[in-house]
């Protein structure tokens, strides 16, 4: 039994014990004593801590799988057949030249292979294989890339046609005229907002042949940019960054709570059914950790907890048979806050402009014995079909 499965079973057992303890306390009194509250909080904190450790191990497994992938392909075709030659950023020559420049081993002015990947700002576009690793890393750090539709663009902007109104059928007399009822379309414009980060590495590490520079850059790039992407996709103001779903004026409130700082099971059901049935089939809940904690303590009319921890690998916890994902950028429960986002995220589109780039800074940090690496990408995210999403809003506080 590996550690991850062991922790999942331990978390499930701890949660069962926590529920049993609370049920036993309620048999004696509707209000918990101070000692019982302390005991319950301790037991619940253990469940939360185990959950976070499980998430860390799952991310570690995903990163290990990504880093352990083969760097060369086996022979799967006729050995006598002429192999396909990779060119441009996909070629081995480009990849070797790129990392030589990043390590400072070969002056870029003498590297002909890099000419195909020079960007307009003095850096170099990353090799195709490394860009795929970066994207996989971003997916593990940004929940939106796990559930949304991601497209590639060659230019800075892309117009997406979306249905504004749908056509309809009508009853008609025999040999009567057909009634025209065509769809109308709007356009959603996906831009290319620049997102970048600076990573510093000591010269000693760069000169150490055992130091895995590609893995280090991929990990830092994914962690930093993935977090910023997720924040912008939820709460971005659209100025120099994407317009977040919660800031989109087209997003409708599906339900409003009766209290400013609590949620009931009925209110979650109201939110669930506020979304049209076709979108509910693939819908996902997103909420803050503190909101999840409050929801986990709710029971249905049969006295059963509506939240159950998943024991299946790579399967998120569920409420009302829909996956529940957490984000630190969702608002916590407070008066007027939008605390639970529910929708089909295949209608939230992420546009990646092709060509993430890196640039080595040799002199800026030389006095500290360090070398800087600038990494950047251009990306946008947009709600293309607002009716596929609803939000639960807390009751506003009175002045």
The answer to whether 393 and 337 have CB atoms below 8 angstroms apart is yes
Residues 113 and 4 in one domain: no
Same domain, yes or no, for 116 and 1?
no
Q: How many independent structural domains does the chain possess?
A: 2
Of the two residues 53 and 71, the one the predictor is more confident about is: 53
Does 91 reside within a domain? no
Beta bridge partners of 390: 252, 342
What Cα–Cα distance (Å) separates residue 336 from each residue in 331, 339, 343, 364, 387? 10, 9, 20, 47, 21
**Which of 191, 186, 127, 124 is closest to 155 using CA atoms?**
191
Together in a domain, 21 and 123: no
Tell whether 58 and 117 lie within a shared domain.
no
Q: 186 and 58 share a domain?
A: no
pLDDT digits (tens, 9 = 90+) for 91-127: 666 666 666 666 666 554 444 444 444 555 555 566 5
For residue 208, CA distances in Å to 103, 204, 211, 213, 358 come to: 10, 6, 6, 10, 21
pLDDT of residue 236: 92
**3 state SS of 97:** helix
253: helix, strand or coil: strand
Domain membership flag for residue 80: no
Give 224's strand partners.
none
Does some domain include residue 97?
A: no
* Neighbour tally for 142: CB within 10 Å: 23
Spatial separation of the C-alpha atoms in residues 279 and 113, rounded to whole Å: 48
Query: Does residue 119 sit in the same domain as residue 59?
Result: no
Report pTM.
Answer: 0.64
Q: Are residues 47 and 144 in the same domain?
A: no
C-alpha to C-alpha distance for 284 and 188, rounded to whole angstroms: 23
Residue 161: is its pLDDT beyond 70? no
Q: Which of 64-73, 197-206, 207-216, 379-388 has the weakest average pLDDT? A: 64-73
Among 31, 48, 65, residue at a domain's last position: 65
Q: Are 61 and 117 found together in one domain?
A: no
| Partners of residue 152 on adjacent β-strands | 352
Paired with 162 in beta bridges are 186
Would 381 be classed as within a structural domain?
A: yes
DSSP annotation of 69:
S
Tokens of 306: 């509506």
| Average pLDDT value over all residues in the chain | 78
Per-residue b/e over 84-123, b at no fewer than 16 CB within 10 Å? eeeeebebebbbebbbbbbbeebebeebebbeebeeeeeb
- As a whole number of Å, the end-to-end CA separation of the chain is 56
Are 189 and 243 a contacting pair, CB within 8 Å?
A: no
Contact 117, 125 (CB under 8 A): yes
Q: What are phi and psi of 77, to 5 degrees?
A: -120, 180
Q: What is the mean pLDDT of residues 132-153?
A: 79
CATH of the domain at 310: 3.30.2400.10
Query: pLDDT tens for residues 278-313?
Result: 999 999 999 999 999 999 888 877 887 877 667 666
Q: Is residue 137 part of a domain?
A: yes
The one-character DSSP state at 330 is S
Residue 235: in which H helix or E strand, if any? helix 213-235
Query: Could you list the residue range(s) of the whole structural domain that residue 224 is in?
Result: 107-164+181-399
Residue 396: per-residue pLDDT: 86
The pLDDT value given to residue 87: 59
Question: Does any domain span residue 320?
Answer: yes
Separation CA 191–CA 240 (nearest Å): 10
Task: Tell me, yes or no, whether 9 and 131 share the same domain.
Answer: no
288: its two tokens: 């803050």
């Amino acid at each position: 039994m590996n550690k991850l499965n062991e922790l999942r079973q331990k978390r499930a057992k701890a949660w069962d014990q926590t529920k049993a303890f609370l049920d036993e306390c309620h048999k004696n009194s509707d209000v918990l004593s101070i000692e019982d509250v302390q005991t319950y909080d301790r037991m619940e904190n253990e469940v939360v801590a185990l959950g976070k450790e499980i998430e860390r191990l799952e991310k570690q497994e995903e990163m290990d799988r990504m880093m352990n992938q083969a760097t060369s392909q086996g022979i799967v075709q006729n050995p006598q057949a002429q192999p396909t030659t990779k060119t441009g950023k996909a070629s081995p020559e480009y990849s070797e030249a790129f990392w030589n420049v990043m390590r400072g081993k070969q002056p870029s002015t003498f590297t002909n292979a890099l000419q195909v990947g020079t960007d307009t700002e003095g850096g170099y576009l990353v090799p195709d294989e490394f860009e795929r690793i970066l994207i996989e890393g971003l997916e593990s750090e940004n929940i939106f890339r796990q559930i949304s539709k991601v497209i590639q663009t060659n230019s800075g902007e892309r117009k997406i046609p979306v249905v504004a109104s749908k056509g309809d059928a009508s009853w008609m007399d025999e040999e009567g005229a057909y009634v025209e009822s065509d769809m109308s379309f709007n356009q959603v414009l996906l831009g290319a907002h620049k997102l970048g980060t600076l990573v510093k590495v000591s010269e000693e590490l760069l000169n150490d042949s055992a130091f895995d520079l590609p893995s280090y850059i991929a990990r830092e790039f994914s962690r930093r940019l993935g977090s910023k992407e997720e924040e912008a996709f939820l709460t971005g103001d659209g100025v120099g960054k994407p317009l977040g779903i919660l800031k989109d004026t087209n997003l409708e409130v599906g339900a409003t709570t009766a209290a400013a700082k609590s949620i009931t099971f009925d209110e979650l059901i109201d939110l669930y059914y506020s979304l049209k049935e076709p979108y509910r089939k693939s819908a996902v809940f997103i909420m803050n950790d503190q909101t999840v904690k409050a929801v986990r303590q709710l029971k249905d009319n049969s006295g059963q907890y509506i939240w159950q921890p998943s024991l299946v690998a790579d399967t998120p916890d569920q409420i009302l048979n829909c996956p529940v994902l957490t984000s630190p950028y969702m608002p916590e429960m407070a008066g007027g806050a939008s605390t639970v986002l529910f929708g089909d995220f295949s209608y939230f589109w992420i546009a990646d402009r092709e060509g993430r780039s890196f640039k080595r800074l040799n002199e800026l940090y030389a006095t500290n014995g360090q070398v800087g690496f600038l990494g950047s990408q251009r990306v946008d995210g947009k709600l293309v079909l607002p009716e596929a999403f609803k939000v639960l809003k807390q009751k506003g506080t009175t002045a």
